[in-house]
Structure 1
Amino acid sequence: MTVVNETHSPASAKGRVEPTTSAGEASTLPELDEAVTGCRACPRLVSWRERVAEEKRAAFRDQEYWGRPVPGFGPSDASLALVGLAPAAHGANRTGRMFTGDRSGEVLYRALFDVGLASAPHSESAGDGLRLYGTRITAPVRCAPPANKPTPAERDTCSPWLAREFELLRPTLRVVVVLGGYGWQALLAVLAAGGWEVPRPKPRFGHGARATLRDPAGAELVLLGCYHVSQQNTFTGRLTPEMLRAVLGRAKEAAGVG
């Protein structure tokens, strides 16, 4: 198992980054992560993420926002993946790391640390030295969307990045924790297109839901559902730290991490 402390710089590729072509050309996860950061395929999302990065929130007015698509975070040989929804406008869109710099991230990384999947309980910035153990965090949509609601077309345009990420993780990936129903549906579509056999009827999302997918060679991939770590869920008690730790603990054991 590789432990990686990842930071990302702006994409160096020149010209238009087209998701299907650029994702398919990436032969490693670092190459894919670099290509993701140069994507401008969705005009509405590009306009929003850059506007937020320019106007900023008052509390962060002295900081330079990332303002680009956010790549996945974690080692290239992860056996466990977490799939969310999209970067937060003043969280990952500011820091350049998934679930970093906002209240949702505070809850998530605390739980990852508590169950032994992260080296520290807080994720402040892409250069803070935080490491994930056998775990990678990603999302179906890589740009911060207005009102946290990407359109179906934006989700589909972005899907080649997630599809290629899972292809590159395939040799080691065993378990996926999906945070929320949006990610659940998006991931099932990506996996089905990638050759995984999705059970029929299609597994429904729910906290604690479990589904096992198989590929033609007989390999298995376990999906575990978990309520999203949004403030709406954590502030109301719909998702408690104990509930989150329980799901992550089951995922860690099933993935054989540690």
Structure 2
Amino acid sequence: MDASSPILLFDSGVGGLTVLAELRALLPQAPIIYAADMAGLPYGAKSEAEIAARVAGLLGRMAERYQPRLICIACNTASTIALGMVRDVLETPIVGTVPAIKPAAAMTQTGVFGLLGTEATIRQKYVDDLEREFAGGKKLLRYGANDLVTLAEAKLRGEKVDVHAVAEAARGLVLQARGNEIDTVVLACTHFPLLERELGEAFGPGVRFVHGAHGIARRVAQLVEGQPMTRTVPDRAVTTGSLENFEKVRGPLSQIGLDRLEVL
């Protein structure tokens, strides 16, 4: 294992920075490449076939180019759809992102909890299986809130995000039968924790939020434990979109140690 071999974090946009922040706390010495498929954003409204082909193709190219020691798909939509396919075609260890249904089911006091994700995520059999395994006797309500992705990206660019816009994007969750009993909400998109403050205002003080960023980072740390790590070049962020658009999030990227921005 080359000590300078990076960990590659992949997301459709900048939501995966919530995972990277947790990973930095556990592995500050790890060389990192953060890959954002800005040209493909948003994933939530795409078909399963489109997402699977795009993610597998991009990760195949990046695995060949960057020779990462591990790839983390820091995106619920990409993971629930393409994780199996990517693992089949790449020899690189892959860590996916799983909606935090298990801890949320254990936390709920009312027995009713919610899941906010993209439309593509909430309809996946993967989510059905998690619900069946961990939420027996509980009621899980799901809602596809694609607009929250756009709002989270805007917030990271430094734009003002109106809490009423966030509430409107998520209100379909509580409008369902028994929605007024929700006391715990799974944020099943890595973008959504960027809006946790606004979501807290929208849902009120009686609702707790759960997401998997820390658990994902912990799993990555376990898999690379004991491996030599040396940062020989600055960590970088790469994008499939234009560098001009990527520059709009240079501030947040630099704050988390991604000082080089490149086009894939």
Q: TM-score, normalised by structure 2?
A: 0.35
Greater gyration radius? 2
Higher relative contact order (CA 8 A, sep 6+): 2
- Relative to its length, the structure with more strand (as a share) is 2
Q: TM-score, normalised by structure 1?
A: 0.36
